[in-house]
Every structure is written in C-alpha cells, then in structure tokens.
Structure 1
Amino acid sequence: MSCENCKTGFNWNGTPTGKETTLANNNAYVTGDSKSAAIMIVHDVFGWTFPNLRLLADHFAKEANATVYLPDFFDGEVVPTDIFNDPAKREAWDLPSFVKRHSKDIRYPEITACAKALKAQFPKVGAIGYCYGAWACFRLGSDPSLIDAVSGVHPSLVEKSELDALKVPTQILAPETDPAFSPELKEYSNKVIPTLGISYEYVYFPKLKHGFAARGDETDQVQRDGLERAKRSAVNFFKEFLH
C-alpha cells in the first residue's frame, strides 16, 4: 500500500463527548444511547483515538439515532497526528510495514468479533470504514448475519472479490483523486455491485482527494463542503437501512 494522502490531514475543532469502554476484547470509544441500532466505525491508520473520527461518531450517534462504537483494531498502536505538520516525520513513517503489522488476516477476526458482539445487542447494525477500514466493512457485508448495511469511505486495500461477495446495502463515498481506490476499482464497483441484487449508493466528490472525509481542511470551503456532505450521506444511508 503506497498512499501519500494516507499520511496527511488536518485536526478538526471540537471535543468528543462519548466515553471509552470495551467491545468484545477490544478497547472502544462509544457514544449515543440508541437501543435499536448501532454503527461500528472501522478506523483509518490514525486509530481509535483520532479525535476527528470520535467527532464523526458523535455526529452519527445524534443524527442517525444510533449507538456508535469506534473500536481499537491496532492493538494500542496509534499513528500520532503530528505527522500532519511535520514532513520529516511523514517521510520517516513506514506505511507498508504498518499495514503488514495490521494485515487483514490479523485484524479481521477481531473486527468480526466486534460485529458479532453488536449484533447480539442491537436489532440493526451498520459499519462504516475510512481508508484502511473500508475493506473490513465490505468483508462484513458478505454476511447478513453480521451486519445490515456497510459504507466505505475513500477505501483502500480493497479486493475485487470483496466487492463481488457483498450481500447487504452498500455505500461508497469516493473522491475524484484517490490512488488507493483507483479508477479501475471505481469502475468495477459501479459495474458489479448493481448486479448483486442489493441497494447500492455511490457518491462522488469532485475536486477532492483521498482522506477528505476524515482529515479534510475545515478552513478550505471546498473540503469543508465535501466532508460535511460525506457525513450527511452516511447519516442518511444509515437512517434508511437501520431504522
């Protein structure tokens, strides 16, 4: 996995309002008090403590009427966001080695266990993954007993077989420029998923790049409009398929 935009971003203003708990055997941030629906966020490389994702979790909890969990799927490893403003640290951070330490084979059993734990507690469960996390949501989407709806936001590490196997309502939020979710994969998604007999929504974000929905610049109007539209799109998707 080679993706310079996976290393860049901006910290957003705001203070998360949830609390830390556990889900299955994993630490997790949780927010919201719905008894009828849960949403699991599968994080990007900045992990479960990344404030931007916790702020998004708070929004989803309130606006999609869900209890939202953001579990730790990196066994405590956190990429510090100070690399956003330090080119030397960005250059030094070895993304391929990081992804190898947290490979699909290593992390997917934990992700599945968390989905099962939520499904045992809530009538409806959705999952949304950002960058690294999107492949995991698509994999969950092959099993309706685990999940009811999935969303992938500027996905990375996605394999065509994971798209072929989808069996639940699926959403993809895709920026114009995204080396991690190539034009070929975009075309494949839009060709294959509509043949699977499931509800499918593909939302395209012109002028934006990989990472915008979780790490976009709030002070740039185009990026702010895009990240807010991505949030609204995900909220509306989960409101439709979890309620």
Structure 2
Amino acid sequence: MSDCCKTGFNWNGKPTGSESTFANTKTYAAGSNKDRTVLLVHDLFGWTFPNLRLLADHYAKEVNATVYLPDFFDGEVIDPSPLEDPEKRKNFDLTSFIGRHSKEIRYPEIESFAKELRSKYKKVGAIGFCYGGWAVFKLGAKGNNLLDCVSTAHPSLLEKSEISNLGVPTQLLIPETDQKFTPELKEFSLKTLPEIGVEFDYQYFPGLVHGFAAKGDEKDKKQKDGLERAKNAAVGWFVQYLD
C-alpha cells in the first residue's frame, strides 16, 4: 500500500445503522433482511470510517439486504483526519500498520465472519475497498462456497493468484490512475477472467484515482459522479446476484 491509500475526503451525512457484535467481532450493521446479506470489508480507515458506514446504509436500503461492516483491525481505529491533512499523512506509519494487519494475520478472522454469514443467510455478497479488495477475492475463490458474488473498488495488495482463483461472479470498479491496481494487474484481470469462466463486470472510471469510490470529493462534480456511479454499479451487481 502507498500514500494514495491515505488521501481523500470525508463525506457529509450521518450513518443510520447500529453497532453490534456478530461472529465475535464488533460490526456496524444496516438493514434487516433475513435472507440476503452483504459483507463490506473496509479500507485503511476501518469499520468506524463514516464514508463506509454511509455506503453500508445505501447498500442496505437499495439492495434490500442486511449489510455488515466489521472491525477487521482488532480494535485499532485510524482517525480519518489524515485524509485531508498532509502533515498527519506524513506522520502515519503505513508500513508498520500493514505489518500489524497482514493477510496472514487478518484473513482467518475475515473468513470466519464470512462462514458465519453463510450459515445464517441464503445469499451472501461481499465488497472490498482498497485493503479489503484482496480479502473479498480470497473469500470468492473456487471451492470456498462462501459468497454468491464479489465486488471491489480500487483493490490493494491483490495478487495474480487471487484473481485467477476466483470462482464467483466478480465486479471490478477501477479508476484510470491507481498505483495499487497497476496496468499489469488490469491487463491480467481482463485476460484471465474470461479464461476462468466467471461472469464479470469491469467498470472503468476515466480521470479518477485510487480511493475515489470511498473517499472521492463530493464537491467536485467529476469525482461525485464517479463515486455515485460506483455505488450504483455495486447496488445493481448485488441486486442481480443476491436475488
């Protein structure tokens, strides 16, 4: 992960869901559908990030699903103020943070949460932003039977093997400029997904950058249009595959 993961904007609005515990994990939950659920795997700013809670509210209402945004950083909460404060961004040690929350450390808990969802809901989808992108791809791997579909926006830490092992319908929401989902990974995805036979939706957002779907500037028309299009695309994807 790089500095692009620490930049962005805080959105206006007040989340309307609630905090609870599910699968022994603190989580933000929105919606009350007993058959259809969406797991939202957070980015660097974790489960308390208001922007992601607002997105969870939208998904719950527009998909008619129960949406869970769990804490997968073991209680560590990142103040979102570095998004718009260059000095705070400079002082945030991203390398150490990722070391504390590596795939090896965090994936077992993420997988356990998804298994609990699968045991309680008929249909389960997942979306991951930045840090969460690799996680939903691993959950959606062939043979896991944990998810019915996957969506990701500007994923980080993603490996080619995690793309080629996908076994469920997959949506990618990809900006033009992204230091983490590189041109090589874009090309690999577009070549590999048809070869492995999964249904996929690759949506390209020209002029936008890493983080746009979760941290874009609402005051900038192009960015606002992009983040709204990404939200609508994810909603449409989940409506289709969780029906």
TM over 0.5: same fold? Answer: yes
Write the letter of the residue equivalent to 1:200. Answer: F
Q: How does 1:33-112 map to 2 (within 5 A)?
A: 33-112=32-111
Q: CA deviation at 1:201?
A: 0.5
1:25-60 deviation line (CA, Å, top 9, x unaligned): 210000001122100000001000000000000000
Q: Runs of 4+ in structure 1 displaced over 2 angstroms?
A: none
Cα displacement (A) at 1:144? 4.6
Q: Residue 228 of structure 1 aligns with which residue?
A: 228
In the aligned structure 1, how far is the partner of 2:241 from the partner of 2:25? 26
TM-score (norm 2): 0.98
In the alignment, structure 1 segments of 5+ residues that lack a partner are none
The whole-number CA distance in structure 2 between the counterparts of 1:216 and 1:76 is 25
* Residue of structure 2 equivalent to 1:23: 22
Match of 1:153 in 2: 153
The runs of 5 or more residues in structure 2 that have no matched partner are none
Q: CA deviation at 1:132?
A: 0.3
1:136-175 aligned within 5 A: 136-142=135-141, 143-175=143-175
Name the CA distance, whole Å, in 2 between partners of 1:144 and 1:89: 40
SS in 2 for 1:21: strand
Task: Tell whether the 8 Å contact from 1:150 to 1:171 is kept in structure 2 after alignment.
Answer: yes
| Cα separation, 1, equivalents of 2:27 and 2:200 | 29
- d(CA) in 1 for partners of 2:37, 2:14: 21
SS in structure 1 at match of 2:69: strand
Supply the AA of the counterpart residue of 1:39: V
Q: State the alpha-carbon separation in 2 of the partners of residues 165 and 95 from structure 1.
A: 28
Look up the equivalent residue of 1:153 and give its one-letter code. Answer: A
Counterpart residue identity of residue 109, structure 1: P
For residue 194 of structure 1, give the secondary structure of its aligned residue in structure 2: helix
TM-score w.r.t. length of structure 1: 0.98
